[in-house]
């Protein structure tokens, strides 16, 4: 039964994991925030792969908008293959990795430490190789994740990023909003309770795109990854802006477009974008808390009302995780063991 799989159980553990992280890791996040202020850090370089790289995309938007930090993604092969590491300058160099084992990510942090940069890690294994290279470690508090597809570690990474942002801002409103996230995730899981019916319609889908912008650019990438690894579907993620610069030519009648459009500053732009897609005959699958956006969808995937936009990626990925899991199940795939994949991937 699907409910007995590790993936199903780990998706439904997320409210508890998030509450645990927020309760246990605030002190470490505050200590790191103090170090960032004391050292006048003006930019952040993040080393990550896969799901963790998608979490880093969230950090680019959140820390850029709320904390006025320039955030870039490291190029690990410069460190591990070319042996030509760039100068970090006055940066925080952050490694994000569930396992903390991948040698290329570790090599970035080892070089940062050698250069004297401020270093930190977000990982589920605080005794890992990655953690040993850093001054500060935020523990994901996710417990053992047995399904190959990461779910609870991804949302926990997002929560760690959001928690650090609130600590840097010293904003009590942000802390209060963060405390609501576990209950909002619980509500999203309830709203997605009949996801099997939605997935059955797309049993024979062989290609689609996922669209998000702003904070939820990360969600588009993470949802695309989940669909690729669990359902073996060709899925490409885009921002709504980039999609109009060429990829729009992909759209033909009944072509599936999964659009993440929660309430917030970008919602009017996403409305305009989805109306345009409708004129081209696209079949819209819409993840939103906005009734007008959901009304545009052939397949609406509702979100809880009242989400702060800056935290919406932690909740908006939940329908995506459920959709990918159920689509894999209706195709009779093993949701815990996608073909050709291992839980820990070590790249060099």
Of 203, 199, 211, 235, the closest CA to residue 284 belongs to 211
Residues 6+ apart with CB under 8 A from 262: 216, 287, 288, 289, 290, 303, 307, 309, 312, 315, 316
- Boundaries of every domain in the chain: 2-179, 194-330
Task: Identify the pLDDT of residue 339.
Answer: 75
Q: At 266, is the pLDDT very low, low, confident or very high (cuts 50, 70, 90)?
A: very high
pLDDT tens for 137-173 read: 999 999 999 998 999 999 999 999 999 999 999 999 9
Catalytic residue among 60, 83, 228, 343: 343
Q: If DSSP codes are grouped into helix, strand and coil, which group holds residue 213?
A: coil
**Fold classified for 194-330:** Rossmann fold (3.40.50)
Catalytic-residue membership of 343: yes
Give this prediction's pTM. 0.95
Q: 2-179 and 194-330 share one CATH topology?
A: yes
CA distance 5 to 16: 18
Q: If DSSP codes are grouped into helix, strand and coil, which group holds residue 49?
A: coil
The DSSP string of 141-163 is ------SSS-SHHHHHHHHHHHH
Residue 276 pLDDT > 60, yes or no?
yes
**What are the CB-based long-range contacts (under 8 Å, 24+) for 58-62?**
58/158, 58/161, 58/215, 58/218, 58/313, 59/94, 59/161, 61/214, 61/215, 61/217, 61/218, 62/161, 62/162, 62/165, 62/215, 62/310
Task: Identify the pLDDT of residue 67.
Answer: 97
> CATH homologous superfamily of domain 2-179?
Glucose-6-phosphate isomerase like protein; domain 1 (3.40.50.10490)
Residue 340 pLDDT > 70, yes or no?
no
DSSP 8-state assignment for residue 6: H
Task: Identify the pLDDT of residue 345.
Answer: 53
Rounded to an integer, the average pLDDT of 272-295 is 96
Higher pLDDT, 85 or 326: 326
Task: Identify the pLDDT of residue 342.
Answer: 61
pLDDT tens for 58-98 read: 999 999 999 999 999 998 888 878 888 899 999 999 999 99
């Amino acid at each position: 039964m699907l409910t007995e799989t590790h993936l199903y159980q780990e998706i439904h553990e997320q409210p508890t994991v998030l509450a645990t992280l927020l309760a246990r890791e605030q002190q470490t996040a505050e200590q790191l925030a103090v170090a960032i202020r004391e050292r006048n850090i003006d930019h952040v370089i993040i080393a990550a792969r896969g799901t963790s790289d998608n979490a880093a995309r969230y950090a680019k938007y959140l820390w850029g908008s709320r904390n006025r930090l320039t955030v870039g993604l490291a190029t690990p092969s410069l460190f591990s293959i070319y042996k030509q590491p760039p100068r970090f300058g006055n940066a925080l160099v952050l490694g994000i990795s569930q396992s903390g084992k991948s040698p290329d990510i570790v090599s970035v942090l080892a070089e940062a430490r050698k250069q004297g940069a401020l270093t930190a890690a977000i990982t589920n294994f605080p005794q890992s190789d990655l953690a040993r290279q850093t001054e500060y470690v935020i523990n994901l508090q996710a417990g053992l994740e047995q399904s190959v597809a990461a779910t609870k570690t991804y949302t926990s990474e997002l929560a760690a990023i959001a928690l650090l942002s609130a600590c840097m801002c010293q904003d009590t409103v942000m802390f209060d909003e963060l405390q609501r996230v576990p209950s909002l995730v619980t509500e999203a899981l309830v709203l997605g309770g009949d996801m099997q019916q939605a997935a059955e319609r797309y049993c024979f889908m062989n290609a689609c795109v996922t669209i998000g912008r702003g904070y939820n650019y990360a969600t588009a990438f993470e949802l695309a990854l989940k669909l690729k690894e669990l359902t073996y579907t060709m899925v490409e993620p885009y921002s709504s802006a980039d999609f109009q610069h060429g990829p729009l030519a992909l759209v033909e009648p009944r072509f599936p477009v999964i659009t993440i459009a929660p309430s917030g500053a970008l919602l009017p732009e996403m409305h305009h974008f989805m109306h345009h897609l409708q004129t081209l005959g696209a079949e819209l699958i819409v993840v939103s808390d906005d009734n007008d956006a959901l009304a545009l969808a052939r397949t609406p995937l509702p979100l809880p009302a009242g989400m702060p936009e800056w935290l919406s990626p932690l909740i908006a990925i939940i329908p995506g995780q459920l959709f990918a899991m159920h689509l894999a199940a209706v195709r009779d795939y093993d949701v815990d063991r996608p073909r050709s994949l291992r839980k820990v991937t070590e790249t060099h």
